[in-house]
Amino acid sequence: MTEHKPTWDYNNPVTGETMPSPFFFDPGIFAEERERIFMRCWHLVGHVNEFAEPGSFVVQDIFEQSVIVLAGQDGTISAMHNACRHRGNRLLNQRRGKIGAVLRCPYHSWCYNLDGALRAAPRAENLPGFDRAEMGLKPVRLEIFASWVFVTLDDAAPPLAEIAAGAEDEMRRFQPDLDNVELVEETDVIVEANWKVIQENSIEGYHFDLSGPVHKELAALIDFSGYRLTPHGQWWTYIGPPTAGATQAYGVKLEGATWQTDWFFNIGIFPNTTFYSFPYTDMIGTFIMIPLGPEKSLLRFGYYAPKGRPVPEVTKAAIEWMNTQLGPEDIELNVSNQKGLHSRGFYSGRYLIDADRPHESEHLVHHFHKLCYQAISE
């Protein structure tokens, strides 16, 4: 741990220096991010359609905290702490699934209704001063934003509609089936890198044409002269129009396929949620970097496709390509970047910010770093 937290002057993005390297590995700084960013922000859990059936649940872990998001008998989606009120046992240990009418603790069989109310506690009828009505699971704050379910551990967090005002309109412009998608696949990957190293990589176009071969394949589908990365306070977009005349994508012919958009569309909400649609794919992707430690993150890829129509071959190929090609190519950069940050030969670098070449500029990286710095310093 550093004895004195390094400071960073973020006021001159073009001529100034990048966020200093200790911000990417120092345990003290990471502990502050945990408290001041992740214990206060909104966490993406999943899509409302994952909760269509009573008893459907998703478990969302936030560091050592664990939250159950559960569909009730009447269709209401509620969130509650994943800890039995008897002696604190964790109730559900699976990421997602479906239970019957009762949430039963596997330890001493206390049973809760799907809204978290305690329904029965064996042998508690003669317990003095035991009020069942007061022993329900502790609720967690939940919001539905643009058909996505989020939770926060902070009762004072501003609502998402305020944090991301305008974001939903952008999503609907590029993702016409936003309300109508279902989960196809979720892939978790552990990456030995700080969560910000992963985020940075995804919000700049500078490396697209300059890093690995898979990036060049994606870049070929995008007209980079029109690529724009736009900060809007706590949310941002990075969007590019298609190149003209594509007949295939991700190694598959486009003929007969359906898609959400032919654009390269991405929207991020601070700190760690991204929604995207890649060109010619009939899916909405989620991309979340979940911090596990100063230099360890869980990278979660969610793939959601429109209900009631077959997933086009192009989309299936894109998911496979993302999981086995683009993802690994970026992860390799993340891990190598993380190692380099420890070097005695590096402390701070320079952002490539160029108003005349906005498609390659790193202004969004600076914007993101500034949000992180302000959250823990101001």
Q: Which residues bind ligand FES (CB under 6 A)?
A: 84, 86-87, 89, 105, 107-110
Rounded distance, CA 240 to CA 243, Å?
9
Element (H, E) at 329: helix 327-340
Nearer to ligand FES, 110 or 235 (CB): 110
Considering only 177, 200, 330, 360, the residue that binds Fe ion (CB under 5 A) is 330
Report the DSSP pairing between strands 228-232 and 273-277.
unpaired
Distance of closest approach, residue 180 Cβ to ligand FES, in angstroms: 38
Q: Which is nearer to Fe ion, 167 or 219 (CB)?
A: 219
Indicate which of Fe ion, ligand FES, none lies near residue 108 (CB less than 5 to 8 Å, by partner kind). Answer: ligand FES
- Closer Cβ to ligand FES, 89 or 337, answer by number: 89
Contact predicate 194/34, CB 8 Å: no
Report the partner that residue 86 touches, choosing among ligand FES, Fe ion, none (CB closer than 5 to 8 A by kind): ligand FES
CB-nearer residue toward ligand FES: 85 or 367: 85
Binding site partner of 258, from Fe ion, ligand FES, none, Cβ cut-off 5-8 A by kind: none
Residue 189 CB neighbours (<10 A): 13
Residue closer to ligand FES, measured from CB, 82 or 202 = 82
Q: Which does 107 bind (CB under 5 to 8 A by kind): ligand FES, Fe ion, none?
A: ligand FES
* Nearest residue to Fe ion, scored by beta-carbon proximity: 330
Residue bearing tokens 């940075």: 200
Token reading at 66? 């664990």
**Taking the complex as a whole, how short is the minimal distance between the CB of residue 82 and ligand FES, in angstroms?**
11
Closer CB to ligand FES, 91 or 193, in the complex: 91
> Interface with Fe ion by CB under 5 A: which range of 74-82, 234-242, 323-331, 335-343?
323-331
The tokens of 229 are what? 């990365």
Q: Which does 330 bind (CB under 5 to 8 A by kind): Fe ion, ligand FES, none?
A: Fe ion
Nearest distance in Å: CB 216, Fe ion: 11
Asked if 360 touches Fe ion (CB under 5 A), the answer is: no
| Residue number with CB closer to ligand FES (4 or 123) | 123
CB-based contact 50:182 (threshold 8 Å)? yes
Of 368, 348, 349, 230, residue with least CA distance to 289: 368
The rounded distance, in Å, linking the Cα atoms of 338 and 332 is 10
Cβ neighbour number for residue 361 with a 10 Å cutoff? 23
User: Is the backbone peptide bond immediately before 106 cis, with ω within 30 degrees of 0?
Assistant: no
Q: How far is the CB of 191 from Fe ion (least distance, A)?
A: 13
Torsion over CA: 330, 335, 339, 342 (sign): positive
Of the candidates 278, 274, 297, the one whose C-alpha atom is nearest the C-alpha of residue 287 is: 274
Nearest one of 263, 292, 307 to 194, comparing CA atoms: 292
Calculate the CA 88 to chain-centre distance.
Answer: 28
**Closest distance to ligand FES from the beta carbon of 61 (Å):** 19
In whole angstroms, the minimum distance from the beta carbon of 91 to ligand FES comes to: 7
Chain residues in the site for Fe ion (CB under 5 A):
330
